[in-house]
A and B are shown apart, each in its own frame.
Chain A
Amino acid sequence: MSAPHPFSVAMLLADARLPGGGHAHSAGLEPALLAGMAPADVPVWLRGRARTVSLVEAGTAVVTAHLLSHPPVGTSAQTHLSAVVDAWAARTPSAALREAAHLLGRGYRRVARSLWSHRPPVQALEAWTGPLPRAVVLGAIAAAAGLRSEDVVRLTVYEDAQTAAAALLKLEPLDPLAPAQWVLEACAAAEPHVLRVAACLTPEDIPASGAPQNEGWAEAHALLTQRLFRA
C-alpha cells in the first residue's frame, strides 16, 4: 500500500473527529474562564497561547521528530526521549498540565500504535515505560509519517486554538462561527515564529515560552469538582 501524503496525515491529526481523547480537553479555556477571564478576552488570549505555550509544545514535537528520524550514532532512542521529556517538563511547571498532557499522550499513543505500529519512530515509543506528553507522541507520529517541521508547528498551534474554540461553544453563548475567525488569527499570530521553532534540533532549543498565568489557572481548575473538561 502506498503511503498517504504527509499533508493528509496532518489533516487527520488536526481533525477533532480522530478518536484520541481530545474532546474532553479545553486547552486551558475552562480553567481561564472559571478563574475570571472575560469571554471577550478569548481572542487575545488565543493569540497569546499561540505565541507562548503552543510554541513549547510545537518545539517539543519538532525536536522529538528530528531525534527519532536522525538518531546520532551511538545513542539510543530512549536516551533521546528521556532528554526531550525532561526538557518539556522543565518548561511545563504545572503538575496539572503535565498530567493532562500525559493523558492526551496516552490517547495519541493508542492512535500511533494503531496506525503506524510498523514505523521505527513509533516503535521507539513502545519501549518507553513511563508517561509521554502528547507533544512527544506527536513528534514520533510526525517522524513516522514524514511531516515537515513547519507543518508540525502549524498543526500544534492550530490544534490548541481549535480545541479551545470548540470548548468555548460549550461554555459561553455565542455564534459558532465567531471562534473560527479567532482560530485563524491565532494561527497568524504564530506564523512569524514558525520557521524559528521548526529549526529546533536539540532539547535545549525548545522554546521556554510558558505562560505562568495559564499554569496557575490550570492548578486551580484541577481542584474543582464541577468541570466539563479535563484541563
Chain B
Amino acid sequence: MPDLPQNPDTTTTRPLRLGVAGPVGVGKSSLIATICRALAEELEIGVITNDIYTDEDARFLRSAGVLEPERIRAVETGACPHTAIRDDVTANLLAAEDLAEDFAPLDLVVIESGGDNLTATFSPALVDAQIFVLDVAGGGDVARKGGPGIGRADLLVVNKTDLAPYVGVDVEQMVRDATAARDGRAVIALSRTDEASVTALRSWVLGVLGHYRDGVHVAQDPGPMAPHFHAEGEEHDHEHEHSHAH
C-alpha cells in the first residue's frame, strides 16, 4: 500500500515536478526539449534551469522554440548546483511555486539541474520523480560504475545512441549494465532522431504523471551518495549511523 501524500492539500493540485540530472554535456537540455516537443500538445509544461552561469540552458531551451519563452526560467545557484537540488532546495522550490501560479494550471514542471558529476541527485523535497541522464559518448563503462542517480533515479536515460557507432560503444551492453545496476528500474536508450525511443520516453512521463494524479506515486530518494567499500570490505550506503570519520 502506498504511503499517503505528505501534503494532501498541495499534492493533488500542483503540477508534477520532474527533475533531470546528470553530468555536464550528456544532453539534459536537449532531453527536456524532446519531452516538451513530444508532450506539448497534451500537457501544460514549465521548465526551470539551474545553470552555473544563470541562463545558458534557459536560452538554449527558449531558442529551441518548444515552449513559450516565459515558461522557461533560470534560477541562480550561487555556483552550487548540487546544493540547490539537495541540501537547500529553497530557490528551486520557490521558482516552481511561482511558475505553477503564473501559468496555472500546469501539468508538469521540469527542473534541470546544473551539470554536475555522478553523485548529484534531487531531494524528494523538490521533485516527485527524477531522470538521470548519461550518454554513450561519455563511455560505455559509466553505467557500470553506478552511483545514486544511475542506480536509483526513477528513470535512467542513455542518451545520444545515434553516436554509438562513432564512439565505439555497444548500446545494448550499456543498457544491460545499467539495468543490472538498477535492479530492473526503467532504462531508456534515447536518440532524439529515433522515434521509437522518444515514444518510450513520452509514455514513461505520462505513466508517472498518471500515477501522481491518482495519488499512488511515491517520491523516491536515490540517496546522496553511492554505496562504497571500506578497507575491511564492508559496504554501506550511509542510511545508518556509524562512528568512523570520512
Contact = CB atoms under 8 A, between A and B. Distances in A.
A225 B94 contact: no
Given A23-B83, A26-B78, A226 B53 contact: yes
A34 to B, nearest CB: 12
Given A103-B94, A106-B94, A230-B76, A19 B88 contact: yes
B96 interface: no
Nearest to A106: B94
A53 B91 CA distance: 23
A226 B91 contact: no
B79 A228 contact: yes
B80 interface: yes
Contacts of B94: 21, 103, 106-107
A24 B55 contact: no
A66 interface: no
Given A225-B54, A226-B53, A227-B54, A19 B90 contact: yes
Contacts of A45: none
A54 B54 CA distance: 27
Interface in A6-43: 17, 19-26
Given A225-B54, A227-B53, A19 B89 contact: yes
A88 to B, nearest CB: 20
Contacts of B54: 225-228
Given A170-B79, A227-B76, A228-B78, A21 B55 contact: no
B102 interface: no
Contacts of A145: none
B88 A23 contact: yes
B52 interface: yes
A19 B91 CA distance: 10
A227 B50 CA distance: 11
B90 A110 contact: yes
Interface string B64-83: 00000000000111111001
A25 B90 CA distance: 12
A230 B90 CA distance: 13
B170 interface: no
Interface residues on B, range: 20 to 34
A25 B78 contact: yes
Nearest to A227: B54
B163 to A, nearest CB: 30
Contacts of A226: 53-55
A19 B75 CA distance: 16
B53 A21 contact: no
Nearest to B95: A103
B84 A228 contact: no
Interface string A155-183: 00000000000010010000000000000
B78 A20 contact: no
A116 interface: no
A22 B76 CA distance: 11
B78 A23 contact: yes
A20 B94 CA distance: 11
Contacts of B76: 24, 227-230
A22 B54 CA distance: 16
Contacts of B93: 110
B91 A225 contact: no
B141 interface: no
B52 A228 contact: yes
Contact of B90 (A21, A225, A229): A21
Contacts of A20: 88, 90
B237 interface: no
Q: Which 5 A-B residue pairs are closest in the complex by CB-CB distance?
A: A21-B90, A19-B88, A170-B79, A107-B90, A24-B78
26 contacts: A19-B88, A21-B90, A21-B91, A21-B94, A23-B78, A23-B84, A24-B78, A24-B80, A24-B84, A24-B90, A24-B91, A103-B91, A107-B91, A107-B94, A110-B90, A170-B78, A225-B59, A226-B53, A227-B53, A228-B52, A228-B78, A228-B79, A229-B76, A229-B78, A230-B78, A230-B91
